[in-house]
A and B are shown apart, each in its own frame.
Chain A
Amino acid sequence: GAGVSQSPSNKVTEKGKDVELRCDPISGHTALYWYRQSLGQGLEFLIYFQGNSAPDKSGLPSDRFSAERTGGSVSTLTIQRTQQEDSAVYLCASSHRNNYGYTFGSGTRLTVV
């Protein structure tokens, strides 16, 4: 596609439920990032996929968070047993391996009630 696509754009869920957030990167981009942006805060790194290498999961805040990237393209971020502090905008970005200018998606605004 022309840009990074994220779905859903908004998600309201009850505390304790699981949620899945999807990111469809730009075709051919081998690098994919997930970040979290809370109200009034900067961007918190969550996880990084680069080609077929093992992902860098060092930013995941707890074991309730996991992500996968199937076939080197679409990525899904899963949050289990959501908590109110998980409420944030979850951003996905992708880049071609040799071009370090990252293109961001519009994000998924997650609200846990």
Chain B
Amino acid sequence: AQSVSQHNHHVILSEAASLELGCNYSYGGTVNLFWYVQYPGQHLQLLLKYFSGDPLVKGIKGFEAEFIKSKFSFNLRKPSVQWSDTAEYFCAVKGETSYDKVIFGPGTSLSVIP
């Protein structure tokens, strides 16, 4: 069965610090991978997605993620965080067929201190 784990439940950083949020998945096949963000009081938004090709994926707002197939990982990174990046971040995985469902990780809460 598919599953997604995220390494940290809550991360606290100062502005300008670098960010890396860990994500590992379990799935016996080709996957599509996603990171979603939920800002306080807002609905979930897609940050970036990986389907195939270059394993380094660039998303909105300076975020990027690297798919490492051998490690079943899809970690999210940003070189310099801002206070406005304070949000909940969810990693998600889906099998490659249209009949596979998207499974979300438990989320990581990021707090950026000005």
Contacts and interface: CB of A to CB of B under 8 A. Distances in A.
Given A91-B44, A104-B45, 17 more contacts: A31-B98, A41-B106, A42-B104, A42-B107, A43-B44, A43-B107, A50-B98, A53-B99, A56-B99, A100-B32, A100-B34, A101-B49, A102-B34, A102-B102, A104-B36, A104-B43, A104-B44
Contacts of B105: 42
Contacts, number: 53
Interface string A1-43: 0000000000000000000000000000001010100000111
Interface string B45-68: 110010100000000000000000
Contact of A97 (B98, B101, B102, B107): B98
B: contact size bracket: 20 to 34
A: contact size bracket: 20 to 34
B43 A45 contact: no
Interface of A: 31, 33, 35, 41-43, 45, 48, 50-51, 53, 56, 59, 91, 93, 97-98, 100-107
A44 to B, nearest CB: 8
Nearest to B41: A106
A76 to B, nearest CB: 19
Given A43-B90, A100-B51, A101-B34, A56 B101 contact: yes
